[in-house]
Amino acid sequence: MSFDPYLARRDFPILERTNRGQPLVYLDTAASAQKPRAVIDAISDVYERHYANIHRGVYELSEEATRIHDGARETVRAFLGAADVREIVFTRNATESINLVAATFGRANVGPGDEIVISGLEHHANIVPWQMLCQEKEARLRVVPVTDAGEVDLEAFEKLLGDRTRLVAISHVSNALGTIVPIREVTAAAHERGIPVLLDGAQAVPRFAVDVGELGCDFYVFSGHKLYGPSGMGVLYGRAELLEAMPPYQTGGDMIESVSFEKTTFQPPPQRFEAGTPDIAGAAGLAAAIDYLNGLGLDAIEQHELELTRYGTELLQQIPELRMIGTAADKTGVLSFVVEGVHPHDLGTILDTQGVAIRAGHHCAQPLMERFDVPATARASLGLYNVREDLDKLAAAIRHAIELFR
Ligand code: PMP
């Protein structure tokens, strides 16, 4: 059966509510996705029927909670095409996953004069941890330039790779522009020189099928809340041999093998990187989100969002006062723009009165805004539940705002 977004909408209870008295047009999925009933129910089910702390319980309830939590790791492994569940570390979000790699792999492998390569379209989460690491280690952060269309300049990228490059950290899909970065070319160029690659997949995993083996990356990070799952639940995939060699991140309960006042030994990955009680119900919610997406089919979701991205782009380009920011040939899910004479924040506020929820601001990508010489953009971002009518309403609301400011 083919994917029907109108049917899928019924799975999302929140889409029945209004926004400022108007039917809700939710166009902020890049910030966070709404949750299907299956995810909400999976979380409630843990708290209502299976909840206890995990791993050390000798009673039935704790064993059930452990099975649910650890079972979610297998669901994530299969979802990412990882070879082994030991390669899947649970974190709070993509931000924490990146900080984990910077604090462990980074501190262990980056020294004075070394270099880390990122791109000009990164989210702050994939800039600041590397910048801090470079400051600490007297290393250098190198930034691949972005073209006028909002694409990563691959020629310049290859030239930046050298003997001192210790890691490439790059977005799979840009949250501010929707650009899909050609990852296979990135990993091939980096691996030719023996450089590991971390991919920020926060905006990619909700939009198309990802296989870490096929991409050939060494680390892959994402957040559950952007994948129609719960907030507070994130993932770090790391190649087994890299994780094995990494020192712990946070320390305390659950990540140790044995503790004495003289010496502590640590669990192997992934437990080594998961100190303290995890988000047990969150893991169930994330697994439910993945099951839900698999049920709909990620390829169908991908086609749907690509079609909507094209439709929305055509529609917005018919508004003479509007300029798209980010016109990459390969892009999905995000429509970023500025409107002459209307500040993005004012635009966002007026759209809100029409029931249309978009985001206005720098999208945690201030260097990218600077690159395009704008302080902020308005951003409409798509989810599997969006339909053409949502974009029609967006365009109408923008025209209304332009009239108000005339
Ligand atoms: N990277 C990208 C590309 C993002 O879009 C986001 C969230 N906007 C993040 C990282 C950070 O995600 P989180 O806030 O869930 O850690």
**Is 254 part of a structural domain of the chain?**
yes
Q: Which long-range contacts (CB under 8 A, 24 or more apart) does 98-102 make?
A: 98/125, 98/126, 98/129, 98/169, 98/198, 98/200, 98/221, 99/129, 100/236, 100/249, 100/273, 101/129, 101/198, 101/219, 101/221, 101/236, 101/238, 102/129, 102/130, 102/132, 102/133
Do 73 and 170 fall within a single domain?
Answer: yes
- pLDDT for 59-117, tens place per residue? 999 999 999 999 999 999 999 999 999 999 999 999 999 999 999 999 999 999 999 99
Do 209 and 194 fall within a single domain?
Answer: yes
Compute, in angstroms, the gap from residue 125 CA to the centroid of ligand 1: 6
- pLDDT for 6-61, tens place per residue? 999 999 999 999 999 999 999 999 999 999 999 999 999 999 999 999 998 899 99
Number of domain units in the chain: 2
Do 164 and 218 fall within a single domain?
Answer: yes
Compute, in angstroms, the gap from residue 99 CA to the centroid of ligand 1: 12
Q: What percent of the chain is predicted at pLDDT more than 90?
A: 98
**Of all helices (H) and strands (E), which one includes residue 360?**
strand 359-361
Do 17 and 50 fall within a single domain?
Answer: no
Compute, in angstroms, the gap from residue 87 CA to the centroid of ligand 1: 21
- pLDDT for 183-235, tens place per residue? 999 999 999 999 999 999 999 999 999 999 999 999 999 999 999 999 999 99
Catalytic residue among 40, 149, 364, 387: 364
Do 47 and 114 fall within a single domain?
Answer: yes
**Is 348 part of a structural domain of the chain?**
yes
Q: Record the tokens describing residue 149, joined without a space.
A: 């269309």
- pLDDT for 365-387, tens place per residue? 999 999 999 999 999 999 999 99
Which residue range is the domain that position 261 belongs to?
A: 40-294
Do 92 and 235 fall within a single domain?
Answer: yes
Mean of pLDDT values over 254-279: 97
Do 325 and 260 fall within a single domain?
Answer: no
Out of 28, 200, 334, give the residue to mutate to test ligand 1, the one with the largest number of ligand atoms within 8 Å of its CB: 200
**Is 346 part of a structural domain of the chain?**
yes
Cβ-contact 30, 335 below 8 angstroms: no
* Annotation says 364 is catalytic: yes
Out of 28, 29, 93, give the residue to mutate to test ligand 1, the one with the largest number of ligand atoms within 8 Å of its CB: 93
**Is 319 part of a structural domain of the chain?**
yes
**Is 392 part of a structural domain of the chain?**
yes
- Residue after which a domain boundary falls, among 294, 329, 358: 294
Do 283 and 387 fall within a single domain?
Answer: no
Any idea what the CATH number is for the domain that residue 372 is in?
3.90.1150.10
pLDDT at 1: 56
- Residue after which a domain boundary falls, among 254, 277, 294: 294
Q: Spell out where 189-328 has E strands.
A: 197-200, 219-223, 234-238, 256-259, 264-266, 322-324
Do 141 and 25 fall within a single domain?
Answer: no
**Is 35 part of a structural domain of the chain?**
no
- pLDDT for 145-187, tens place per residue? 999 999 999 999 999 999 999 999 999 999 999 999 999 999 9
Closest CA to 89 of 272, 286, 270: 270
- Residue after which a domain boundary falls, among 261, 294, 327: 294
Output the average pLDDT for the chain. Answer: 97
CB within 6 Å of ligand 1 — which residues? 93-95, 123, 125-126, 171, 175, 200, 202-203, 223, 364
Any idea what the CATH number is for the domain that residue 134 is in?
3.40.640.10
Do 390 and 242 fall within a single domain?
Answer: no
**Is 152 part of a structural domain of the chain?**
yes
pLDDT at 81: 98
The atom number, within ligand 1, closest to the CA of 31 reads: 8
The atom number, within ligand 1, closest to the CA of 125 reads: 10
Mean of pLDDT values over 332-360: 97
The protein residue with its alpha carbon nearest to ligand 1, atom 8, reads 31
**Is 302 part of a structural domain of the chain?**
yes
Do 196 and 82 fall within a single domain?
Answer: yes
The atom number, within ligand 1, closest to the CA of 93 reads: 16
Do 285 and 316 fall within a single domain?
Answer: no
